[in-house]
Homo-oligomer: A and B are copies of this chain.
Amino acid sequence: MVPKMMRAIAAFQTLPIRDEASLQDVWLPVPTPRPNDVLVKILAISVNPVDVRIRHALHGQKRPHVLGFDAVGEIVQLGVDVRDFTVGDRVFYFGSTQRPGSNAEYQLVDYRLIAKAPQRLTLGQTAALPMTAVTAWELLFERMSIPAAAHATHGSMLVINAAGGVGSILVQLAQWAGLDVIAVASRVNWPWLQKYGIHKLADYHSDLTPQVQALGYDMVDYIATLYDPVPYFGAIADLIAPMGHVGSIVATDDSLPVAWLKNKSVSLDWEYVFSKSDYAYQMATQGQILQRLSALLDAGALRSTIAYNFHGINARNLRQAQAMLETKNTIGKITLQAPFDGEAKALDDIVWKDPQSYADETLVAFPSRRPDDGDRRAGTDSGQRHLVHPTGRPSDRGKDRQH
């Protein structure tokens, strides 16, 4: 029996993470599935840097923002159009930016975005993976054109920021596909990477090019940048092989001299794991990728990247987890496991007064960088001033300069 109200952890405005009001235990109505939704009772969640970024971008407002993407839980209700799943299924997913998040006892999610959870992993091991593993999968096997099968390719890959959440699973997937992986991380995190079978290591505090050459490589076929690409872009241009792929998941406000990649015919491949759900484009592939990952995890071909697990999903633990992420020194993933045991405030105590509207409309406030955003058009980034925008009449220079 699904109750009418549920515990959740909400943010209302941007506050320092040590402020108890930054993330608060609240009661909210349990939402009702739309035709493509399943209602999931949450058993464990993880935190991601994107949660911190969203919290930092909140404007003061009266509705609660429920953060959280990664989740593992049990289906308790089905929308009328749901296929392939049934009540009682244990599923894992990371949802979308368009709906309330997983930091709540119950969550709605489109069934095309989910998969059955691996059976041999703990709840924490499972909750650690969905967003980072799908990010890594899409980057390698959709964006960078690497075949998605065991030992399907060969060649070398440099992974910058390999010990982080995405990096720890990406290095495993790259090895599974047949690539020779060189990982860049702080020396203190080298044992963490060696645990996952990565033995070619470089120190991010020193120049990359001589370190990679000392490992026996003049150039590498693929480079994954899981870190601001700006400080590494010179080394990337030096080290990438002709016809290589540079995959990046971290946006930068700075412009990049991408023509440095031209004479080697290199591709710069962006990966943003919410592209599919934000644009309602190829959404079912999100669930399909999770299903393949689930099978690989059960088969032991991949291992969970969980590093820390909190027992009890509540505002205090979530503030602690986000504080850890804010240090930017964590490795692997941080998870929180049910029960939801926060000392939730009564509804009258919180500023938000309109419970019925919550289930339908409240979205997380995501700091989007879509091209139609005003902040781009403002052209305040100094790196943009060479560009004519909005697109005007091109000048005569450059025409037919194709060779």
- Interfacial residues, chain A to chain B (CB-CB below 8 A): 48-50, 53, 131-132, 135, 138, 142-143, 145, 161, 164-167, 204-209, 226-228, 230-235, 237-238, 241-243, 248-276, 278-279, 281-282, 325, 328-330, 368-372, 376, 381-384, 386-403
Complex Cα–Cα for A223 and B305 (A): 38
Which residues of chain B are near A206, meaning CB under 8 Å?
393
Query: Judging by beta carbons under 8 Å apart, are B166 and A370 in contact?
Result: no
Which B residue sits closest to A184, measured CB to CB? B394
Complex Cα–Cα for A101 and B123 (A): 66
Please name the 8 residue pairs, one residue from A and one from B, whose CB atoms are nearest each other, closest first.
Answer: A228-B398, A50-B403, A255-B255, A234-B389, A235-B391, A237-B371, A231-B394, A251-B259
Tell me the number of copies of this protein. 2
Which residues of chain B are near A264, meaning CB under 8 Å?
270, 272, 275, 279, 370-371
Point out which of A138, A143, A206, A381 has the most chain B C-beta atoms below 10 A from its C-beta: A143
Complex Cα–Cα for A238 and B370 (A): 9
Query: Which of B249, B271, B400 meets A325, CB within 8 Å?
Result: B400
How many Å from the CB of A294 to the closest CB on chain B? 21
Point out which of A145, A252, A383 has the most chain B C-beta atoms below 10 A from its C-beta: A383
Complex Cα–Cα for A389 and B260 (A): 12
Which residues of chain B are near A255, meaning CB under 8 Å?
254-258, 383, 386
Query: Judging by beta carbons under 8 Å apart, are B138 and A265 in contact?
Result: yes
Which residues of chain B are near A238, meaning CB under 8 Å?
371-372, 391
Q: A48-B403, A371-B237, A403-B131 are in contact. Are A398 and B263 (CB under 8 A)?
A: no
Complex Cα–Cα for A33 and B166 (A): 52
How many Å from the CB of A165 to the closest CB on chain B? 6
Query: Judging by beta carbons under 8 Å apart, are B262 and A270 in contact?
Result: yes
Q: A370-B263, A386-B254 are in contact. Are A400 and B161 (CB under 8 A)?
A: yes
Query: Judging by beta carbons under 8 Å apart, are B391 and A231 in contact?
Result: yes
Complex Cα–Cα for A79 and B219 (A): 31
Query: Which of B260, B270, B391 meets A209, CB within 8 Å?
Result: B391
